A and B are shown apart, each in its own frame.
Chain A
Amino acid sequence: MNAAAFRDVAGMALRNLGRHRVKTVITTAAVAISAALYIFMDGWILGMNLESRRNIAAYEMGAAKIQTKAYFDKKDELPMYENFPGWETLARDLAKAGFDSAPRFTFTGTLYSRAGTAPLVFNAVDPESERRLLRYVPYVESGRFPRDGALELAVGSLAAEKLRVGIPDRPTRSEYEAEILGAAATEEDRAFVRSLYGPPRTSKEPRKPFSVPDKAAPAFEEEKLALKEGVSGEERERLWRILAASGRMDVRISTVIDVKAAPDSIRKNKFEQELLPSLDAGAQALVRSAYEPDPATGDYYLASADDALTSRVLETMVAADYPGAIRHINQLIDAVVVGVVNSPNPKTNGSVGYIPLSALQDEAGLMLGGAVTEILIRKAGADDAEIPGSAESPAAIRAALDRVLAADGRTFPDNLDVRGWKDYSADYLAASAGDEVSTRVMILFLFVLSFIGISNTMLMAILERTKETGMLRALGMTDGQVLLAYTLEAGLIGAIGSAIGILLGCLINIPMVAYGIDYSAAAREMGGDFGYRIVALFRSAWNPPVIAATGVVATVLSAVAAIPPTLRALRMPVTESLRFE
């Protein structure tokens, strides 16, 4: 068909839309709503994902970690016994290769405060490296970050609330009287404390745009007070000192130090029924060569004085996951909470404690002797807004590190491995993938509904115009031209609908990108952690390829909807079409 004929057919299709105005409007609206919703949801999901990825890198772990291979295999159990020494050397090598690094020793335990207990994951960190690599350190909302060498602890804000340490923002009247005002030793301090707290500012507080009502707030509860707005840093510091002096910040860490050690004795049944069956023939022989049965009890005793043999036996037992190869030592560590962390990544603010690595080296700590469980890695001078890319992939890091090591004639330790952030973010990736799928399915349904709407509109339109179709064919329009005319008509519904939808979706997206939705109340209800690494603010992002694709897909789908009824009309003989009433 020539251009003029195409233009005329297109013009006719456009005018035909006006013949079934109500149906056209309804169908167009359905397409528009589907397209707008799709753009909105997609932007939202993308926004949460980009923010989450940025926040994982910036606040949680950098771009990658070095751990022992054995640790990675059991990483969900946080196996502190799978540690490795010599992080300082690796850190220097990483720096030469252009990467920042931060060592960590991660362990679990229970934290006891005067008012409560909470199970916590403790990150023993090097404060200086930590501050350089990760961004949560400045988000100490009150107090400060622990100092190197001191038995000091910073805890996540959720843990602080549970343990009732730190400065309470909204204490109940009785808590205020007993724990805050009661902490002040002098009249001057009491006056100071009184000046900081006042009635809560709930009633006339203007709602933020796009915020949801705080459903978590019960209707009746004990009267609350609130820390006044505009309390200065100095005032907070003084309040912290007053509260700390009362012992509010004193805590005790109760943990179990797990160390790998070949057991001195193994009961007969454990040795024969648990240990030996888990080993292959060679390993069994090795273990038997180090242990001898006691003739009286039948239990087995470590009889070898050969350290090399003992360590090989131990390795064999650990490799077979024999629980007797891990020795548990209970340990209590007294420490003081010096800060509360509340960063934009909920992972840093939950049941987490941060303690200087250097304070845990000897018997008073964890007897680490320089060992760490992981080294966090980020490119030196990486932009916080940037999601780790290929330059920070485990392979790239490993290659850069290997070059530095090779220059000194050294090699990367065989028992260690570099793994990327994705390997450690299964919860986020699962939440993200799940949302992605459910949203896409939901939107697919919407599109199917619009598609049915368009199909119906076109079916009726084409049926009503059977006679006209016959006449067009009598005039010499080929089947292809008739098909084109009707698909153009349906495609126009899709194009107009998706254009309106795109406009609508973008209009919704503008405030969503600029301000986001404040979900702080709902987030609190969920305990602040729901996979995504965002705190209480859902912010969308622009996704131009998807916006464009939405328009194209909606238009093409609409056009396709006209094909079946048109083919049906074309199957009818022209004479029958002309007689059709």
Chain B
Amino acid sequence: MTVVETSDLTKDYALNGITVNALRGVSLSFQAGEFAAVAGPSGSGKSTFLHLVGCLDVPTAGSIAVGGIDVAALSRKELALLRRRSIGFIFQAYNLIPVLTSLENVSLPLVLLGHGKAEAREMAERALAEVGLGDMTGRRPKEMSGGQQQRVAIARALVKKPALILADEPTANLDSKTGREVLEIMLGLNRSEGTTFIFSTHDRMVMDFARRLVELRDGRIESETLR
């Protein structure tokens, strides 16, 4: 089943009066259960691609379908609801809410989805246990290491069992050992839950982990490798 399909995806930015062509006609499709990396040097358009696929931004031209839905036709609110239901995000800087405990951070997407408090708590505890943080449910972000925070972010992304998890350079802020641990957790979840993962990265180790590697350069697909 196709989870994401882009067709001739183009994105231009105006930066200080100059038009930057971040993406120039990228057509890709990702199937359910893929563990794929979009790689490339900085400025290659990999983050832009992820943001467009994650419905955080709108393309200049071309189309995106997430779960078969053409997102161009959706309103701001419908896009928000699509993100809420179907897409999990993992950010380079973790982006946890500092005033909430790890358990509360993880249950937030569930609460937004309308789950009851007890149910959300139980699901969040399970998700935290899956990323190996079953004993840190009461901690606030600043009481945890970078790796632990990123694992909370992973739990937050996967707790609602989304069709798609987008991870924007998830290991960039972590040392290689912690980065590997985090990747192993994600790979494990990909295998056990069948969740589709798409990374953006310029880290060789992440690329090695990926089952499918799409390399971008100057907004175009340079190569595509399946392993």
Residue B115, interface by CB 8 Å: yes
Q: Are B99 and A15 in contact, with the CB atoms below 8 A?
A: yes
Q: Are A474 and B89 in contact, with the CB atoms below 8 A?
A: yes
Residue B117, interface by CB 8 Å: yes
Q: Are B112 and A474 in contact, with the CB atoms below 8 A?
A: no
Residue A275, interface by CB 8 Å: no
- Chain A residues with CB under 8 Å of B98's CB are 19, 468
Q: Which of A2, A471, A477 has the most CB of B within 10 A?
A: A471
Q: From residue B111, how far is it (CB to closest CB) to chain A in Å?
A: 5
Q: Are B81 and A478 in contact, with the CB atoms below 8 A?
A: yes
Q: From residue B48, how far is it (CB to closest CB) to chain A in Å?
A: 8
Residue A575, interface by CB 8 Å: yes
Select from chain A the residue with minimum beta-carbon distance to B120. Answer: A4
Binds A, one of B28-36, B50-58, B130-138, B211-219: B50-58
Chain B, 90-132, CB within 8 A of any chain A CB: 91, 93, 95, 97-100, 104, 107-109, 111-117, 120
A96 to B10, CA, bound (A): 96
Interface string of A559-581 (1 = CB under 8 A from B): 00000000000000111001000
Interface string of A465-489 (1 = CB under 8 A from B): 0011001111111111100000000
Q: From residue A466, how far is it (CB to closest CB) to chain B in Å?
A: 12
Residue B24, interface by CB 8 Å: no
Q: Are A476 and B114 in contact, with the CB atoms below 8 A?
A: no
Residue B220, interface by CB 8 Å: no
Residue A5, interface by CB 8 Å: yes
Contact with A5, one of B76, B87, B112 (Cβ below 8 angstroms): B112
Residue A12, interface by CB 8 Å: yes
Q: Are B51 and A471 in contact, with the CB atoms below 8 A?
A: no
Contact with A2, one of B93, B95, B114 (Cβ below 8 angstroms): B114
Residue B202, interface by CB 8 Å: no
Select from chain B the residue with minimum beta-carbon distance to A478. Answer: B80
Name the prevailing secondary structure of the A interface residues.
Answer: helix
Q: From residue B88, how far is it (CB to closest CB) to chain A in Å?
A: 9
Residue A233, interface by CB 8 Å: no
Q: Are A15 and B100 in contact, with the CB atoms below 8 A?
A: yes
Contact with A477, one of B54, B80, B87, B99 (Cβ below 8 angstroms): B80
A475 to B80, CA, bound (A): 8
Q: From residue A578, how far is it (CB to closest CB) to chain B in Å?
A: 7
Contact with B57, one of A2, A16, A481, A573 (Cβ below 8 angstroms): A573
Contact with B84, one of A15, A471, A475, A575 (Cβ below 8 angstroms): A475
A87 to B108, CA, bound (A): 83
A15 to B54, CA, bound (A): 29
A-side residues, CB < 8 A to B, are 2, 4-5, 7-8, 12, 15-16, 18-19, 467-468, 471-481, 573-575, 578
Pairs of residues from A and B, 10 with the lowest C-beta to C-beta distance, nearest first: A476-B84, A15-B99, A471-B95, A574-B56, A476-B83, A478-B80, A8-B111, A575-B51, A575-B57, A5-B111
Sample of 13 A–B contacts (CB below 8 Å): A4-B111, A4-B115, A4-B120, A5-B111, A468-B97, A468-B98, A471-B91, A471-B95, A471-B97, A474-B56, A476-B82, A478-B81, A573-B56
